[in-house]
Amino acid sequence: MDLTALTIGEAAAAMRRGEFSAAAYADALLARAAALAALNAFIHHDPEQVRTAARAADERRAAGASLGALHGVPLALKDNLDTAGMPTTAGTPALRDNRPLRNAPLVQRLLDAGAIVFGKASLHELAYGITNHNAAFGAVRNPYDPARIPGGSSGGVGAAVGARMVAGGIGTDTGGSVRIPAALCGIVGFRPSTGRWPQAGIVPISHSRDTAGPMARSVADCTLLDRVVTGSADAPAVSLRGLRLGVPRGHFWEHLDSEVAASMESVLRTLREAGAVLVEADIPDAPRLDAEAGFAIGLYETIGDLDAYLAQHGSAMRYPGLVAQVASPDVKSLLSSLLGDDAVPEAAYRHALDVLRPRLQAAYDDYFRRHDVAAMVFPTTPLPAAPIGHDETVLLNGEAVPTFATFIRNCSPASVAGIPGISVPAATTRAGLPLGLELDAPRHADASLLAIARAVEAVLPALPAPRC
C-alpha cells in the first residue's frame, strides 16, 4: 500500500483501526519529503519531532484512549500560524527567532483532534504575494514542474500537499492565497467566510480580510478539517441535477489564457451534462468595488495589525523595524511605501470599509438571490503556473501583464466581500500543469458550498499525480 496516496480521512480511519501505525505513516511521508526536498516546501521541518509525535499517537491508541478525527495525521502548517515549540517566521528575517509561547487556537483544535505538525511550510514573505519567490528562504517549486511557481502566498502548503509529502495542511487567504496555490498545485483549497475560522495567533495582513483555510487533495478532507476547526455539521449531499450555478462571464471569464479558456468551457459542458443549470449572469460592480475597496482596507490595516501581533508576543520591534529587514524586493517596496506619502489615508480606509465593502457584499447578496443560484463558477486563475522569476510581469497570450494583479484577479472580490470560495482541480494543460475551478457562495453558506464542491469534484476527471 502506498501510504502517501491516502487522503486525510482514509489515513486517520485506517490508523484508528490499527491497519498501520502512526509511526509507519509518518516514516512514509518523511521519506517522500526527503526525496523531494528540492521543492523547498518547508522553512521548519524536524523529522524527529514528527516521529516523536507519531509514537505518542500510537501509545495513546495502545492505551485505549479516545482517538480524534485526525488521529496520527501529519499536516503542513503555513509558517504564519503560531506553533509552540517551533518557529513562526512568516517567511521574513526579522521573525526568524519568533518562538510563540502557545499554539494558535485553530492549531490547538487540530492537535486536540489528533493531528501532528509535519512542518512549517514556506510562504511568500509576510504572505504579501502570490509567487512564493521568497528572497529570505528561497523559492518554492511547483511539484508538477519545478521550474514554475506553486502560487502563493500559501505555496509551501500547496507544494507539499500536491507532491504527496502530506495529505493536507492549513494556509491563509487574504486575496487568494489558499485558492491560487491549490489551483496551481492540483489540489483543493477552501477559503471560509471571513470570521468562520479563528484568526488569533496568525501573523496578520488585514483583520477585515484574513482567514485561514484548509488545503487537501479532496473536498471531503477540506470538509473534515473545517469541521474539526469550527465544530460545524456537514451539509447534506447535493445532486448536480437541477442545481443552478452562476457563470459570470464579465470579468471572471475574460482575458483567459487560451488553454485555460478551452479547458474551462469543457468543464462547463461536463457540469451541464451532469444536470447542472448554468445561469449566465454578471456582477457588474464587483470588479470596480473590489479595486476601490480591497487594497485600501488591506494596506491600511497592515501596520496596526502587525504591530499588535508583535506586541502580543512581547517583542519590542514594530512595523518600521520589521520592514527594514524584509528581503524580497517586491514585498519591501510595497510595505515601505506604507510609511511614506503613499500610505492609505484614514478617510479612504473608512470609506472603503464602511461604504464600498458593504456595497460589494450587497452586490453579491443580490446576485445570488436575484438569479437564484447556489454558487458561481469560474477559473480560479486566468493562467497556469508561471516560470519562477516572473515576479513583476508574466506573459498572458503573448502579452506582458502584471503578475500579482493577474493571478489574484478572480479570487480577490470574494475575499473583500468575505464570502466563501473553494478551488477544485479541474483540468491540466498540454504541458501537464493543473488548472483550478473556483466556486463561490453566499456569505456563511460554507457547508452548502463544500457539499456543492464535492458534487462538482465527483464529475470532473481526477488529476494525475505529479511525476516528481
- Tens digit of each residue's pLDDT (9 = 90 or more) over 412-433: 999 999 999 999 999 999 999 9
**DSSP calls for 119-137:** EEE--SGGG--SS-EETTT
Residue 1 confidence (pLDDT) above 90 = no
What's the alpha-carbon Rg for the chain, to the nearest Å?
A: 21
DSSP 345: P
pLDDT category, 262, cuts 50, 70, 90?
A: very high
Residues 6+ apart with CB under 8 A from 391: 129, 131, 133, 329, 330, 403
423 catalytic, yes or no? no
Selected catalytic residue, list 122, 153, 206, 208: 153
Per-residue pLDDT of 375-395, as tens digits, reads: 999 999 999 999 999 999 999
pLDDT category, 207, cuts 50, 70, 90?
A: very high
* Average pLDDT over the chain, rounded to an integer: 97
Selected catalytic residue, list 177, 193, 208, 328: 177
DSSP-based three-state secondary structure for 157? helix
Cell of 149: 511557481
**Are 422 and 196 spatial neighbours (Cβ–Cβ below 8 Å)?**
no
pTM above 0.75, yes or no: yes
- Give the separation between CA 226 and CA 213, rounded to whole angstroms: 8
pLDDT of residue 256: 98
- Give the separation between CA 121 and CA 140, rounded to whole angstroms: 10
Closest listed residue to residue 245, CA positions, set 270, 278, 268: 278
**Are 217 and 436 spatial neighbours (Cβ–Cβ below 8 Å)?**
no
Integer angstrom CA distances of residue 113 from 195, 218, 294: 21, 19, 35
Residues 6+ apart with CB under 8 A from 220: 7, 9, 454
Per-residue pLDDT of 340-374, as tens digits, reads: 888 999 999 999 999 999 999 999 999 999 999 99
pLDDT of residue 467: 85
**Are 245 and 276 spatial neighbours (Cβ–Cβ below 8 Å)?**
yes
| Sequence letter at residue 276 | A
Per-residue pLDDT of 65-81, as tens digits, reads: 999 999 999 999 999 99
pLDDT of residue 178: 98
pLDDT of residue 400: 97
332 catalytic, yes or no? no
DSSP 381: S
Angle, nearest 10°, between helix axes 286-312 and 357-370? 130
206 catalytic, yes or no? no
pLDDT of residue 468: 82
Interior CA angle at 215 toward 388 and 6, to 5°? 105
What's the whole-number mean pLDDT along residues 250-276?
98
Strand 74-78 to 116-121 pairing: parallel
Using the structure block, give the residue that is written with the C-alpha cell 520591534: 317
Q: Which domains does the chain show, CATH number per domain?
A: 3-459 (3.90.1300.10)
pLDDT category, 305, cuts 50, 70, 90?
A: very high
Using the structure block, give the residue that is written with the C-alpha cell 484508528: 16
User: What's the residue count for the chain?
Assistant: 468
DSSP 354: I
